[in-house]
Chains A and B, each alone.
Chain A
Amino acid sequence: DAGVTQSPTHLIKTRGQQVTLRCSPKSGHDTVSWYQQALGQGPQFIFQYYEEEERQRGNFPDRFSGHQFPNYSSELNVNALLLGDSALYLCASSPGTGTRNEQFFGPGTRLTVL
């Protein structure tokens, strides 16, 4: 059983560009959350998708947007990249939105903005 997968593993962009990161949830999971982990920091919640809609959002600007597809996979889009967007982006999936449900994390996508 494949766990949460993310692509690409690494990405280098320049300021002002746009980037799309992808996530496939663990089999049987329909809820996807995205986190940003800056170097030396703990992960910070960006948003969560369930039934193809954004259900919860953290304190991130509108430059960060997402999408969930009918097969439950998800994309994170970041527009007008800033140097400060350099981070490890983690995707987590769970079976539903219940608070007792464990979130399983993927290995992350390392984004470097030059």
Chain B
Amino acid sequence: AQSVTQLGSHVSVSEGALVLLRCNYSSSVPPYLFWYVQYPNQGLQLLLKYTTGATLVKGINGFEAEFKKSETSFHLTKPSAHMSDAAEYFCAVRIGGFQKLVFGTGTRLLVSP
């Protein structure tokens, strides 16, 4: 069965520093991969997705992620963190002909001044 592992339940960075949130997936078939952000007391907002084609995917708010099949990874990065990036980030996988999303346990990003 497919699964997602997010390394690090909490990541702390300083404003202006590089953001790196790690995600590894397990799948026997080519997956569709997603990153969502959740602000306090809100639902999930899609940051970016990989389906097919270019392995470097650009999303909203300056985030991007690279699909690496050999490493079964889909890490999320942003060159320069803003205070407004502080939130919970979820990696998710969708496989096959179904819309069901399988989520990781999330990584809370803390941004300090």
Question: Number of A residues contacting the other chain (C-beta, 8 Å)?
Answer: 28
CA–CA, A42 and B94, complex, Å: 14
Q: Are A99 and B106 in contact (CB under 8 A)?
A: no
Q: Which residues on the A side are within 8 Å of B102 (C-beta)?
A: 45
- CB of B111 to closest CB in A, whole Å: 20
Interchain CB contact under 8 A, B99 and A42: no
Segment touching B, from A14-22, A70-78, A100-108: A100-108
Judge whether A97 and B99 touch: CB under 8 Å. yes
Closest to B104 in A: A42
- How long is the Cα–Cα vector from A31 to B102 in the complex, in angstroms? 18
B94 touches A102 (CB 8 A): no
Where chain A touches its partner, the secondary structure class is: loop
Please state if A99 and B97 are interface contacts (CB–CB under 8 Å): yes
Which residues from chain B contact A58 at a C-beta distance below 8 Å? 100
- Chain B stretch 86-104: residues in CB contact (< 8 A) with chain A: 90, 92, 94, 96-104
**Chain A residues near B94 (CB, 8 Å)?**
99
The CA-CA distance from A41 to B51 in the complex, in Å, is 25
Q: A42-B103, A48-B100, A106-B43 are in contact. List 20 more A-B contacts (CB 8 A).
A: A4-B43, A33-B99, A33-B100, A41-B106, A42-B104, A42-B106, A43-B44, A43-B101, A56-B99, A90-B44, A98-B99, A99-B96, A99-B97, A100-B51, A102-B46, A103-B46, A104-B46, A105-B36, A107-B41, A107-B42
**Could you show 5 A-B contacts with beta carbons less than 8 Å apart?**
A35-B101, A43-B101, A43-B103, A56-B98, A103-B46
